[in-house]
Structure 1
Amino acid sequence: MMSHQLVALAIVAICGFATGSLVETPGVTQAPPPLPPQVNPARSRVRNNFRTPVSSSLPLNPARCDYKELMTNLHDRVGILVTLDEDQRHRLEVIDKKLDQLVDSSEARMESMKVQQLNFQQRLDSFEHIQRLSRNTLDELKGETDQVFGPRAVRELKHRLRNRRKMNDISRTVRAIPQDQYTAASGSSDARDFNSSSLSVSDRLDALATLLTSTALNVRAVQWDVAKLAQSINRQRRVSHRKGLGQGPGQGQGQQPPIFYGPSGPGGYQPSSFTRPPSSCQQSFLAIEGILKVQLTPESESFYVACDEDWTVILNRSSDELNFERGWLDYKDGFGNLAGDFFIGLNKLHALTSSAIHELRIVLEDFAGNVAYAGYSTFAIGSEKELYPLNLLGRFQSDLTPSAGDSLSYHAGAKFSTVDADNDNCIDCSCAQKHKGAGWYNNCGTSNVLGQYFQQNYGRAGETGIFWDTFQGKDYSLKRIRMMIRPVNEEEARR
């Protein structure tokens, strides 16, 4: 209240100074006017050389200063400033929350790195211990060997001399003996032994060459038979698909026949292609118990993948034995067992989807045994520098039956987030911490395939469970989920 009176007095003072008059304000007592000065009559007779202005007979009307209007304008401006101050304060609070979240995520990442460093140090210590034990055991074995067979230097020298004699015997030139000399010397046992030994070496070399040639021919024939068998199997799959006999995850549309790294035909041979590992599970006939070693390019490193016929499995979840609430480094390199529950890793997934155009198939199952499918015509993610965004997600394949619905298109274009790396589009929250998992979150999401596994109370798990919104809703946590990719041919990619 006092501040408003002071503002009013200041406005009144300004108005009075500008107009040269006094303005009566409410609440302020006006002082009486001063008395006129006494004029000396003697001095009044003295002539004044200065001109005296003639006063007007009419009184001047002092200009009025409307302080109420000024107060209104000032009050409006103060209100605007208060509103702006509240807006800035709210923004600062949001920034403080985001900074706190960044600090928490950084601390979580540091803790994860510390744990991994401690684990690595423990493994290194155990490896050094095993190495020391191996050295001690090797030294003991060397000492026992030296006691039994003599010093090592002597044994090495004897071994070298023995090898040198063998090389000299093998490389010695066999002279051709004339027939008469051979007949004359046929009675000699030394000559018979010499010729029999020379012929036996030649016979052995010829037999070895024949064996190698026959083995190569047999391998080529087996490879050609396997290639023809694979082509016939794929042909039967396409015919079955056209007749509508199957809609399972291994019987999709546009299936490309497997590329066989072997002979190019009945009379051709490709040694460079034969030695190179396969590049995808479309050569699944080479897999051992569903595990296949692939190499995408001749220059890249090879790695193992799990195959479901010609599909490459990138995620499998069927129990609560493996924790999926992990940090960025774990999801980058992958974790789990290829024969059980696992995640392939973002680096390998980026390499696979960058080498060729792939399609995506997701198989979902609830605890009642109901199975549903969700498929997308194309699928690819970006690199780690881009934070592994879901760059490519094609048309939803609604012809798969029973269909689980489309609960992934909402995540298209989003970056990958973990509990220690918040890369989602939610300003006031961390979707990975909210859903207790990881994934391509937009403003959180309509699916959470990397969430927590609920063995009990799966019907009321909430958004922290493994849910697919268009299949049993967000509150239901699924029993099994499997994500698979496979390359598509050029015609399917253009379509």
Structure 2
Amino acid sequence: MNKTETLQLPSSPNSAINVLRRSSWLVIQQRIDNSLSFNQTWEAYKYGFGVYNENFWLGLENIYNLTKSRMYKLRIEVYAQGIWVSDEYDSFEVGSESLNYKLKVSNYSGDNLDIMNYVSSTSQMHNGKVFSTFDRDNSPLQTNPGLKHASGNWFDSYSYAQNLNGPYNQTLQYYMKRFNRLTNAQQCRMMIKLSTSN
């Protein structure tokens, strides 16, 4: 059951944001169709864009403010080739903008594979990487993967194991163990909730 609500940011008592909840999870990214381009600017990824309950990105600054003082879990759900897969991490956080919203996840579980740490001849891990967009290349080698893949993501090269913000039927892809390859996704969502170990 999906519902929208207003959430107080723990680090900013006077700041509140609108959020979408799916059961006990807070949705930070969702794509249900091709009606919204995710090839957005750094500023858009920082503050968020889209329509809740449809296609949207919550905003890196909001995600940072939520995860900086309390431990959150991350769950990723992807629909492709007629099946849903899920990957989950017991710990999820992003750094501040001064750290380019660096991603940190740990303690994987799920029915697919450890997508954020997966490395192969055609993919690089996302864990520990900083965020880049087409107009702000934070990759150490200045390869501008955000421009190459028309996406905002935690990557530092042209290769990836997931690109959930890429364009439909192009680089909106997820590595699926069942098919042993990157697979075009039709729907996806990233969700967080407070860890029970707090």
TM-score > 0.5, shorter chain as reference = yes
Change (3 A) 1:314 1:381: same
Higher relative contact order (CA 8 A, sep 6+): 2
- Within a 5 Å distance, the mapping from 1:456-467 to structure 2 comes to 461=170, 465-467=171-173
Deviation, structure 1 residue 447? 1.4
CA pair 406-484 structure 1, distance change in 2 beyond 3 A: same
Partner Cα separation in structure 1 for residue 128 and residue 21 of structure 2: 27
Corresponding position: 1:408 with 2:116: yes
What is the identity, as a one-letter code, of the residue corresponding to 2:3? G
Secondary structure at the counterpart of residue 332 of structure 1: helix
2:175 maps to a residue whose letter is D
Q: Distance in 2 between matches of 1:299 and 1:337?
A: 24
Q: How does 1:35-434 map to 2 (within 5 A)?
A: 290-297=3-10, 299-366=13-80, 368-390=81-103, 392-397=104-109, 400=110, 403-409=111-117, 410-425=125-140, 427=141, 429-434=143-148
Q: Given that residues 414 and 441 in structure 1 are in contact (C-alpha distance below 8 angstroms), is that contact kept between their aligned partners in structure 2? A: yes
How many residue pairs get aligned? The number is 187
- Separation (CA, whole Å) in 2 of partners of 1:371 and 1:355: 32
Tell whether the 8 Å contact from 1:313 to 1:482 is kept in structure 2 after alignment. Answer: yes
Q: Supply the distance in 2 between the matched residues of 1:416 and 1:300 (Cα, whole angstroms).
A: 27
Q: Report the 3-state secondary structure (helix = DSSP H, G, I; strand = E; otherwise coil) of the residue aligned with 2:27.
A: strand
Counterpart contact for 1:347–1:384, Cα < 8 Å: yes
Q: Deviations over 1:396-450 (max 9, x none)?
A: 11xx3xx12122121111111000000113x262111111111000334221111
Distance in 2 between the 1:344 and 1:479 partners? Answer: 20
Write out the 4+ residue segments of structure 1 that deviate beyond 3 Å after TM superposition: none
Q: What residue is the counterpart of 2:184 in the other structure?
A: 477
Partners of 2:151 and 2:94 in 1: CA distance? 19
Verify the 8 A CA contact 2:161 2:175 in the aligned structure 1: yes
Computing the radius of gyration from Cα coordinates, the structure with the larger value is 1
- Stretches of structure 2 lacking an aligned partner (at least 5 in a row): 118-124
Counterpart of 1:466, as a letter, is L
Please state if 1:443 is matched with 2:157: yes
Q: Is the 8 A contact 2:48 2:57 kept in 1?
A: yes
Letter in 1 for 2:51: N
Alignment RMSD, CA only? 1.8
SS in 1 for 2:108: coil
SS in 2 for 1:429: coil
Determine if contact 2:28/2:58 at 8 Å carries over to the other structure.
yes
User: Is the CA contact (8 Å cut-off) linking 1:347 and 1:383 kept in structure 2?
Assistant: yes
The question of whether the paired residues in 2 share the 8 Å contact of 1:406 and 1:470 is answered with no
Cα-to-partner distance string for 1:123-148 (whole Å, 9 max, x where unaligned):
xxxxxxxxxxxxxxxxxxxxxxxxxx
Higher strand share: 2
Equivalent-residue separation in structure 2 for 1:336 and 1:428 (angstroms)? 28
Check whether the contact 2:77–2:188 (CA below 8 A) recurs between aligned residues. Answer: yes
**Cα pair 1:362 1:484 within 8 Å, conserved:** yes
Give the whole-Å Cα distance in 1 for the aligned partners of 2:105 and 2:82. Answer: 28
**8 Å CA contact 2:91, 2:107 repeated in 1:** yes
Q: Percent identity?
A: 27
Which structure has greater helix proportion?
Answer: 1
